[in-house]
Amino acid sequence: MFTGLVQDLGEIVERESTTDGARLRVRTSLTPEIALGDSVAVNGVCLTATEIVDGAFTADAMHETLRRSSLGAVDEGSHVNLELALRADQRLGGHIMQGHVDGTGEIAGVREDGFAWIVTVGADPSLLRYVVEKGSIAVDGVSLTVARVDDVGFDVSLIPETLSRTTMGEMTPGRTVNVEVDILAKYVEKLTGTSR
């Protein structure tokens, strides 16, 4: 389980793609805290550390992960948001996240609003049905609050701290981002029998 509070901005230092999937090596200051087999959220995608060497960890991404997330397109040199799994004795500062990306969205616009940025994310209606104004959403693994939502996308408003500590400060129109909707909304839908 994760909270969407990014702990480090990592860098993809090696990507090996094969017919079986992709192997990513990620440089991060978090390696002293990572053990083999640990879960690490990479742009919101839960991956398993399979090797830790020289300030970087390696993780495998299977075809399902590459199809459903933006990790299929990350290259060497790309920055990624990193978060270690939540420990039971930690504060839940963001919102409950599983690292199971529901789909991708596309940055439709970025504009300044005082010291903040408002980022508009276009998304499929199958995702937007779970998005509510002032609700929680994860974009590239960052826990955010929905400022506005309509039939084609949603807005999030970002403070300078978020912009400087995460990849959100690199957002430009056309960029693909991972979206994880609030898990509670999906469970409520299932339990009430309203799922399509």
Q: What is the pLDDT of residues 93-143, one digit of tens each?
A: 888 888 999 999 999 999 999 999 999 999 999 999 999 999 999 999 999
Mean per-residue pLDDT of the chain: 95
CATH dotted code for 103-192: 2.40.30.20
Token code pair at residue 24: 């990513």
Q: What is the pLDDT of residues 6-47, one digit of tens each?
A: 999 999 999 999 899 999 999 999 999 999 999 999 999 999
Side chain identity at 83, as an amino acid letter?
E
Cβ–Cβ < 8 Å for 5, 143: yes
pLDDT at 74 over 80: yes
Query: Looking at the chain, which residues constitute the CATH 2.40.30.20 domain(s)?
Result: 8-84, 103-192
- Residue 135 is predicted with a pLDDT of 94
Q: What is the pTM of this model?
A: 0.93
- Residue 195 is predicted with a pLDDT of 66
Phi, psi for 150 (deg, rounded to 5): -140, -160
- Residue 113 is predicted with a pLDDT of 96
- Residue 186 is predicted with a pLDDT of 86
| Fold category of 8-84 in CATH | Elongation Factor Tu (Ef-tu); domain 3 (2.40.30)
**β-pair type (153-158, 142-149):** antiparallel
Helix H, strand E, coil C: the string for 16-74 is EEECCEEEEEEECCCHHHCCCCCEEEECCEEEEEEEEECCEEEEEECHHHHHHCHHHHC
pLDDT over 90, % of the chain: 85
